[in-house]
Amino acid sequence: MQLPLYWIDAFASAPFTGNPAAVVPLTQWLPDRTLQQIAFENGLAETAFIVPVATAAPARQPRFHLRWFTPAVEVDLCGHATLATGHVILRELRPEAESVAFDSRSGVLEVTRRGEQLELSFPITPVSPETDAGVAAAVARALGGAPAWLGRSCFDRFAVLPTAETVRTLRPDFAAVAAAGGRGLIVTAPGDGTCDFVSRFFAPQAGIPEDPVTGSAHCALAPYWAERLGRNRLHARQLSPRGGELWCEVAPELNRVRIAGATRLYLRGEINLPG
């Protein structure tokens, strides 16, 4: 059995930047164990698998089922791998389409062309203050001190630091990050004058010590900073070693965050499986 494989750099402003994701289009689902083994073999933070929605009639907006796997586990949401999957469909498989819809564990997600960029439309992820003293202590150990503010979303812990430089130079204690629970730890601060806010994302408990660029985290980050900065259109930068640029628009009346970025095809190939 041969399966197509695409390797896309999402939120990539230049070659060898952004967050790489593997995308594997399927005609029908393979066993979960096989999907997990493929993701482990790929060795990237995320591998996305898609299957066409059987009831969808040919239309200007194609529709697919979408699942995401880290090398260790299946996850409920992944922004950069969704953007990468949008690239594969809109620029490789269905170049005549202007947008694509995905049925996922996190509801219906969309990717739309926006000039040279692609744009995600995701639900807003609310953030509330962290009230668990054990979590707060673990985050303080992870960061080497208490953050300026600590919150949580349904996915992640959310720590605000005073400056972009403190985010850039952070060397977290990964055991403490994992002990804090949740999917991972978002660390953020106001921008340095070249962007509105910065962030990094750590998820050792999901097999990802640091994620290069995390689209789904911006479903929480963008609304948080939009409220504090008093505007709904924001330029974000993730300060991982690879780095990435994101342009966010918060639409509270729709409960949505639009997240746009550039994508680049790095590799096109085949997976060879027995059978």
Residues recognised as catalytic: 46
String of DSSP letters for 15-53 = TT-SEEEEEEE-SSPPPHHHHHHHHHHH-SS-EEEEEE-
> Mapping DSSP to helix (H, G, I), strand (E, B) and coil, where does residue 154 land?
coil
Q: Measured at the alpha carbon of residue 5, what is the angle toward residues 30 and 258, in degrees to the nearest 5? A: 95
Which backbone phi and psi does 71 adopt, to 5 degrees?
A: -60, -15
Which residues, including other chains, have CB under 8 Å from residue 41's CB and lie 6 or more apart? none
**Residue 82 is encoded by which pair of tokens?**
């969704």
What does the alpha-carbon distance between residue 32 and residue 51 come to, in Å, rounded to a whole number? Answer: 14
Return the closest-CA partner of residue 96 out of 81, 113, 82.
113
Return the closest-CA partner of residue 8 out of 271, 273, 266.
266
Q: Which residues pair with 114 in a beta bridge?
A: 117
What does the alpha-carbon distance between residue 6 and residue 49 come to, in Å, rounded to a whole number? Answer: 11
What does the alpha-carbon distance between residue 164 and residue 189 come to, in Å, rounded to a whole number? Answer: 5
Q: Which residues pair with 238 in a beta bridge?
A: 199, 244
**Residue 144 is encoded by which pair of tokens?**
């080497």
What does the alpha-carbon distance between residue 52 and residue 12 come to, in Å, rounded to a whole number? Answer: 27
